[in-house]
Amino acid sequence: MFDSLSDRLGATLDGLRGKGRLTEDDINKAMREIRLALLEADVNFGVVKDFVARVKERAMGADVLESLTPGQQVVKIVHEELTELMGSAGTKLAFSNRPPTVILMAGLQGSGKTTAAGKLSRMLAKQKRRPAMVAADIYRPAAIQQLQTLGKSLQVPVFERGTADPVETAVWGVEQAKAQGRDVVIVDTAGRLSIDQELMDELVRMKAAVKPHNVLLVLDSMTGQDAVATAQAFADAVDYDGVILTKLDGDARGGAALAVRAVTGKPIKFVSVGEKLDQLEEFHPDRMASRILGMGDVLSLIERAQGEYDEQQAAELEEKIRRAEFDLEDFLEQLRMVRKMAGGGGLTGLLGMIPGVGRQIKSMPKVDERQIDRVEAIILSMTPAERRDPKLLNGSRRKRIAAGSGSNVQMVNQLLAQHRQMQKMMKQVSKGKMPQFPGMPRR
Residue 315 covered by a domain = no
Same-domain check for residues 16 and 128: no
pLDDT-derived band at 366, boundaries 50, 70, 90: low
Per residue in 65-123, pLDDT (tens digit) is 777 677 778 888 888 888 888 876 657 898 999 989 999 999 888 888 999 999 999 99
Domain membership flag for residue 264: yes
Cβ–Cβ < 8 Å for 270, 247: no
- Biggest CA–CA distance in the chain, Å, is 77
- Say if 354 falls within a structural domain: no
Strand partners, 189: 136
Structural domain includes residue 108: yes
442 located within any domain = no
Using CA atoms, how far residue 154 sits from 17, 100, 115, 177, 275, in Å, is: 49, 19, 12, 16, 15
Helix, strand, coil percentages (3-state) for the chain, rounded to 5, are 60, 10, 30
Q: Range with the lowest mean pLDDT among 213-222, 265-274, 365-374?
A: 365-374
Q: What is the pLDDT, as a whole number, of residue 89?
A: 64
pLDDT at position 195, please? Answer: 77
Q: Does residue 210 sit in the same domain as residue 329?
A: no
Share of residues in the chain with pLDDT > 90 (%): 28
Report the alpha-carbon distance of residue 85 to residue 99 in Å, rounded: 34
Question: Is the predicted pLDDT of residue 394 greater than 60, yes or no?
Answer: yes
Q: What is the CATH number of the domain that holds 385?
A: 1.10.260.30
Q: Which amino acid is at 313?
A: Q
At residue 72, the pLDDT reads 79
* Residue 305 falls inside a structural domain: no
pLDDT at residue 229, rounded to an integer: 82
When pLDDT is cut at 50, 70 and 90, the band that residue 323 belongs to is low
| Cβ pair 156, 162 in contact under 8 A | no
CATH number at 262 reads 3.40.50.300
Residues 260 and 145 in one domain: yes
* DSSP secondary structure letter of residue 101: E
Strands in 101-106's sheet, in edge-to-edge order, are: 158-159, 131-136, 184-189, 101-106, 214-220, 242-246, 268-272, 280-282
Please give the Cα distance from 430 to 426 (Å, whole number): 6
Note whether 339 and 385 are same-domain residues: yes
Together in a domain, 284 and 369: no
Environment class of residue 338 by beta-carbon count within 10 Å: exposed (0-12), middle (13-18) or buried (19+)? middle
Task: Judge if 131 and 264 occupy the same domain.
Answer: yes
Would you say residue 417 lies in a domain? yes
The one-character DSSP state at 246 is E
The pLDDT, as a whole number, for residue 439 is 43
User: Which carries the bigger pLDDT value, residue 437 or residue 279?
Assistant: 279
Q: 133 and 250: one domain?
A: yes
* One domain, residues 163 and 212: yes
Query: What's the whole-number average pLDDT of the chain?
Result: 80
Q: What is the mean pLDDT of residues 296-300?
A: 51
* Predicted confidence (pLDDT) at residue 442 exceeds the cutoff of 50: no
Q: Read off the CATH number of the domain in which 19 is found.
A: 1.20.120.140
Question: Would you give the DSSP letter of residue 270?
Answer: E
Task: Looking at the structure, tell me whether residues 339 and 204 fall in a common domain.
Answer: no
Structural domain of residue 62, as residue ranges? 3-86
Decide which of 59, 86, 113 is a domain's last residue: 86
Query: Are 176 and 254 in the same domain?
Result: yes
Q: Is the model more confident about 159 or about 441?
A: 159
Q: With 50 as the cut, is the pLDDT of residue 436 above it?
A: no
Domain count, the chain: 3
**In 191-252, which ranges are E strands?**
214-220, 242-246
Which tens digits make up the pLDDT trace of 325-342? 678 887 777 777 766 665
Statement to judge: residues 65 and 116 lie in one domain: no
Mean pLDDT of 35-50: 85
Q: Are 13 and 30 spatial neighbours (Cβ–Cβ below 8 Å)?
A: yes
Kindly tell me if the per-residue pLDDT of 415 is higher than 90. no
Domain-located, residue 95? no
The answer on pLDDT for 193 being more than 90 is: no
Confidence of residue 37 (pLDDT cuts 50, 70, 90): confident
Specify whether the CB–CB gap between 304 and 341 falls below 8 A: yes
Are both 326 and 251 inside the same structural domain?
no
